[in-house]
């Protein structure tokens, strides 16, 4: 396993725990210092105790959706990059459009995704 870069923390936010675990493990295997939470509120709380260079954010979640959570994260740390993803692309269209219009979306990935997409996005936005 590659040596972890402690300064480049990655947070995965998805209400499906198996997705959060899977993505964070993919990122750890690639040498990233990755963690996951299962809600938008969990992401906001995580930013209260740590800083993250990159967030992989599900768009469709109960409570705070990905776009609402994105907005809160940008208030807490404007330097954090966010990659939005969704398995329910039709339902996410309006939020994605709104985010693009507001200049808030760095990139979005559609589920199901490939390991390479996740790792390549992490490398693109925070290096390795």
89-106 confidence digits (pLDDT tens): 566 677 777 777 776 666
Mean pLDDT by 10 residues, the chain (128 residues): 62 94 94 96 94 90 89 89 75 70 67 82 83
Two tokens at 128?
A: 């390795």
Domains of the chain: 10-123 (3.40.50.2300)
Bridge-based pairing of strands 33-37 and 54-58 is unpaired
3-state secondary structure of 37: strand
Q: Which pLDDT score, from 0 to 100, does residue 89 have?
A: 58
Residue in 25, 19, 10 with CA at minimum distance from that of residue 38: 19
């Amino acid at each position: 396993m590659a040596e972890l870069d402690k300064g480049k923390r990655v947070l995965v936010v998805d209400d499906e725990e198996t997705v959060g675990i899977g993505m964070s493990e993919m990122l750890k295997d690639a040498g990233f210092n990755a963690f996951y939470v299962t809600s938008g509120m969990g992401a906001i709380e995580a930013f209260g105790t740590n800083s993250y260079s990159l967030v992989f954010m599900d768009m469709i979640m109960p409570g705070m959706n990905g776009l609402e959570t994105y907005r809160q994260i940008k208030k807490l740390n404007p330097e954090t990059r966010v990659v939005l993803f969704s398995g329910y692309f039709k339902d996410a269209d309006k939020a994605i459009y709104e985010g693009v219009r507001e200049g808030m979306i760095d990139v979005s990935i559609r589920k199901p995704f490939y390991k390479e997409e996740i790792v390549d996005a992490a490398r693109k936005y925070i290096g390795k």
